[in-house]
């Protein structure tokens, strides 16, 4: 949502000018139904929020291409999840590793709502209700105001939604989870965060009356009742001379970059190799060079153009030597191709 406009088409195409290549090119639809966004961060990995879900086998869509997930790894005490895909990304976002995010202006991406009806208290504009979700990808700007640490969820970047923010100032709303936040480091825009949550559950009178409670983005919460969500108690925010703006949280990449790199920078070594393919009657035997305590996925296709792969065998345990997998009745096919994927 934007402070400046309710135009539903505002910032629904890639940023240009000084903001060109600020992250739009990296954001893909996730999971298969494309409700959220996620960001590739290595040739075979992308980063998403844990709370948006997804399962191995779901598809990540990026720039019109489909990438099939095979495994994921969750960051301890964080909402960050690294997903592994069977295919290879042609490009991916660099990670922001600095710890100087506070006061930096950023570009953030999501599929949240446009601005809805205005909210007033005592004749003063306080903000706007969330509009009707339309599934559009949008980008906005804001400034990192501070960092915040939650014992169970780790470090967050915090940005306030006020009347005097930067151009294209935005607030997260329903649908923005898991999108990427980018900060410019020199001449390069780098992934500095993954969208988590925002303030946004309000009431005019402290009740759950359908006519007085709402989700919204407030430039001033004064005079409103706030809550963490349905079922949680209401807290009244006393109106002040100065605004008390709403704010949003983004999982901080720099606080977890060592863990992220430990996941995406692994090297398989001598395994992850098809050593031999040989007919055995009507079957085909595929021999793999494997590592100990690792699991493998073997897939097949008869057409490399369409790229439709099906599973021969999954969760095949390695033993440090050669393992043979059988593709039954494969010799009846005019051609067949195989590939192997390391699951863990």
Contacts of 72 (CB under 8 A, 6+ apart): 54, 56, 81, 82, 83, 84
Q: Residue 5: inside a domain, yes or no? A: no
Q: Residue 15: inside a domain, yes or no? A: no
Same domain assignment for residues 290 and 223: no
State which of 263, 291, 306 marks the end of a domain. 263
Q: Residue 152: inside a domain, yes or no? A: yes
Q: Residue 21: inside a domain, yes or no? A: no
Whole-structure pTM value: 0.78
Q: Which DSSP letter does residue 172 get?
A: -
Same domain assignment for residues 138 and 162: yes
Same domain assignment for residues 144 and 203: yes
Same domain assignment for residues 110 and 241: yes
Q: Residue 8: inside a domain, yes or no? A: no
Same domain assignment for residues 281 and 314: yes
Same domain assignment for residues 248 and 156: yes
State which of 222, 254, 286 marks the end of a domain. 254
Q: Residue 173: inside a domain, yes or no? A: yes
State the pLDDT at residue 28: 97
Same domain assignment for residues 37 and 112: no
State the pLDDT at residue 267: 55
CA–chain centroid gap for 24, Å, is 13
State which of 263, 281, 306 marks the end of a domain. 263
Q: Residue 306: inside a domain, yes or no? A: yes
Helix count and strand count (H, E) for the chain: 1, 25
Same domain assignment for residues 86 and 115: no
pLDDT in tens, 174-231: 999 999 999 999 999 999 999 999 999 999 999 989 899 999 999 999 999 999 988 8
State the pLDDT at residue 221: 98
Dihedrals phi, psi of 9, to nearest 5 degrees: -100, 5
C-alpha pair distances (Å), 200 with each of 9, 119, 245 = 22, 12, 11
Contacts of 44 (CB under 8 A, 6+ apart): 84, 85, 86, 87, 88, 89, 264
Instruction: Identify the domain containing residue 122 by its residue range.
Output: 105-254
Contacts of 64 (CB under 8 A, 6+ apart): none
State the pLDDT at residue 271: 61
Distance separating alpha carbons of residues 152 and 150, to the nearest angstrom:
6
Same domain assignment for residues 236 and 109: yes
State the pLDDT at residue 344: 65
Same domain assignment for residues 131 and 249: yes
Same domain assignment for residues 291 and 314: yes
Same domain assignment for residues 116 and 207: yes
**What residues of the chain score a pLDDT lower than 50?**
none
Structural tokens at position 211: 């006519």
State the pLDDT at residue 343: 76
Q: Residue 100: inside a domain, yes or no? A: no
Domain count for the chain, please give it: 3
């Amino acid at each position: 949502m934007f402070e400046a406009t309710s135009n539903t088409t505002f910032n629904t195409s890639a940023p240009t000018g000084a903001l060109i290549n600020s992250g739009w090119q990296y954001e893909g639809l996730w999971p298969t139904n494309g409700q959220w966004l996620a960001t590739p961060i290595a040739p075979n990995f992308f980063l998403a929020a844990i709370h948006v879900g997804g399962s191995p086998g779901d598809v990540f869509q990026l720039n019109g291409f489909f990438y099939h997930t095979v495994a994921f790894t969750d960051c301890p005490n964080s909402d960050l999840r690294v997903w592994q895909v069977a295919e290879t990304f042609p490009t991916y976002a660099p990670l922001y590793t600095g710890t100087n995010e506070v006061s930096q202006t950023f570009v953030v991406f999501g599929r949240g709502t446009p601005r809805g009806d205005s909210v007033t208290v005592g004749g003063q504009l306080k903000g706007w209700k969330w509009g009707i979700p339309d599934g559009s990808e949008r980008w906005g700007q804001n400034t990192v105001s501070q960092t915040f640490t939650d014992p169970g969820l780790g470090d967050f970047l915090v940005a306030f939604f006020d009347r005097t923010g930067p151009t294209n100032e935005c607030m997260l709303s329903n649908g923005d989870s898991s999108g990427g936040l980018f900060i410019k480091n020199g001449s390069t825009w780098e992934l500095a965060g993954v969208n988590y949550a925002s303030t946004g559950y309000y009431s005019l009178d402290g009740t759950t009356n359908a006519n007085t409670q709402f989700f919204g983005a407030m430039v001033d919460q004064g005079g409103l009742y706030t809550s963490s969500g349905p079922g949680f108690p209401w807290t009244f925010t006393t109106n002040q001379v100065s605004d008390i703006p709403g704010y949003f949280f983004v999982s901080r990449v720099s606080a977890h970059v060592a863990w992220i790199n430990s996941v995406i920078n692994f090297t398989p070594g001598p395994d992850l190799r098809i050593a031999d393919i040989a007919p055995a009657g009507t079957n085909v035997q595929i021999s793999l060079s494997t590592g100990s305590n690792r699991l493998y996925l073997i897939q097949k296709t008869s057409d490399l153009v369409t790229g439709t792969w099906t599973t021969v065998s999954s969760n095949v345990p390695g033993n440090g030597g050669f393992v043979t997998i059988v593709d039954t009745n494969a010799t009846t096919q005019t051609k067949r191709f195989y590939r192997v994927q390391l699951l863990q």
